Amino acid sequence: MGATFVAAGASQTQAKRIGDRQKTAARLLRASVERSYDAEVDIDWDEPWLDGKTFGPEHRLSLYGTRIWDKLSPEQRSDLARHEMASVLSFGILAEAGLSAVLFRKLMTGKLADDATRYLLSEIGDETRHSTMFSRMINKLDVEPYRQPKFLIRILSVGAQLIPLGASAWGGTLLIEEVLDRLQRESMISEQVQPHLRQLFKIHVLEEARHITYAREELVRSYQASNRLGKAFHRLVLAVMCAGVLPALANPQVYRRALGMSPLRGALVAQLNPNYRVRATFASEPMVRYFHEVGLITGRVTAKVWKATRALPDDLHEEIFGAPPSTSGSRLKRLVASAVGV
C-alpha cells in the first residue's frame, strides 16, 4: 500500500526530462481549471468531529516511541496530535506566505503576458486559498495558532525578499511542498483520520502536485544555468534550509499546551527520539532523491549538513558517505536521551 499512495497523483518529473517552460505552464494552467477546489464548500466545516477518529497517524507524532509516549493516556495522545496538526498548519501558512512573496518577485522579472506568468498568478491564488483553508482548520481544531519566534519570522521575511531567484528559491519551494505532500498523502487515505482533515489533505495534495511539477523543472533550469560558485552556494543554502524546516514542524510550545511539559524538554525528546530519523526520511524521501538526481547533494560541507538533517535514505547515505547511518549515537547523546525520557 505504501508505494501506491506515495505514487498516486504525485509529480513524476525527472531531472533529465525537463520540458519547455511555456508548454509546461500551459499544461498546468489547463490542469488548474480541471482540478481546483474551494474549501469553503468542499469541506463541511459545520460537521462535528467524529468520535474515535484521530488528528493524524500516531506513528508520525514527535513523541511516538519514547518512554513519555508510553505513559500518555489515549486522551493525551489525541490532544498532542491535535496540537501538532495545528502547529504544522500554522507553519504552512507562514511558509506559503514566504513562497508567494518569492513567486511575486519571479513574476515581476518575467514577460508579464505569457503562460509562465499566468501560471505563477494561478499558483499564488492556490497558495492563498490553501492558507485560508489552513486557517479555518486551526479554528476548527480549537487551538490558538502556533507562532514562530519573531526573529525567525524576520529572517524568513527578509530571506523571501533577498534570496537569489534561482535554485535556492525553487529548492526551498520543494522543501515545503514536498514534505507536506508526503505526510498528507499518508493521512488522506487513512480511515482513522478525521474526515475534515482527510478532505483538506486531498485538496492540498491534488493542487500542490502542479506546483511541485513546475518547481522541479525550474529548479533544474536555474541550477544548470548557474556557474560553479553559484551551484555551490545554492547547494549549501538548500541544505541549511532543510536542517531548519524539519524540526520546525512541531513547535516546542506544543508540549506545554498539550501536555503541560517544558517546551525545552519536549523538543529534546523529539530530536533525540530514534523515530525522528524514520519520520524525517519518510517525509523527505521523494524530494531528497530528486535533489540527488539534480546534483544538489554534493560537496564536502553540503553533504555534512545533509547528514545532520537525518533525512537521507539509507542507500543514499551509504552512497555518499560509504557507510549506512549510525543508529547508536554518542554516549553523551544516549545519556541525555535517557535523562529526558526518550
Residue 257 counted as domain residue: yes
The pLDDT tens digits for 97-121 are 989 999 999 888 888 899 999 999 9
> Across the chain, what does the average pLDDT equal?
90
Residue 125 counted as domain residue: yes
Q: Is this structure's pTM higher than 0.85? A: yes
pLDDT of residue 13: 66
For residues 33-61, give the mean pLDDT: 93
For residues 296-307, give the mean pLDDT: 94
pLDDT of residue 268: 94
d(CA 232, CA 244): 19
How would residue 339 be classed by pLDDT, with cut points 50, 70 and 90? confident
pLDDT of residue 153: 82
Helix or strand (DSSP H, E) at 72: none
Pick the closest to residue 169 from 75, 78, 103 (CA basis): 103
Looking at residue 51, the DSSP 8-state letter turns out to be: T
Residue 325 counted as domain residue: yes
80 in Cβ contact with 258 (< 8 Å):
yes
For residues 204-228, give the mean pLDDT: 94
Residue 185 counted as domain residue: yes
Residue 235 counted as domain residue: yes
Residue 8 counted as domain residue: no
Residue 3 counted as domain residue: no
What are the CA-CA distances from residue 141 to residues 74, 239, 309 (Å)? Answer: 17, 33, 30
250 in Cβ contact with 271 (< 8 Å):
no
The pLDDT tens digits for 1-22 are 344 444 545 556 666 678 889 9
For residues 308-317, give the mean pLDDT: 94
The domain containing residue 257 runs over which residues?
53-340
Residue 43 counted as domain residue: no
d(CA 235, CA 223): 9
Total domains in the fold of the chain: 1
How would residue 128 be classed by pLDDT, with cut points 50, 70 and 90? very high
C-alpha gyration radius of the chain: 20
pLDDT of residue 154: 82
The pLDDT tens digits for 147-176 are 988 887 887 777 777 777 889 889 999 999
CATH of the domain at 310: 1.10.620
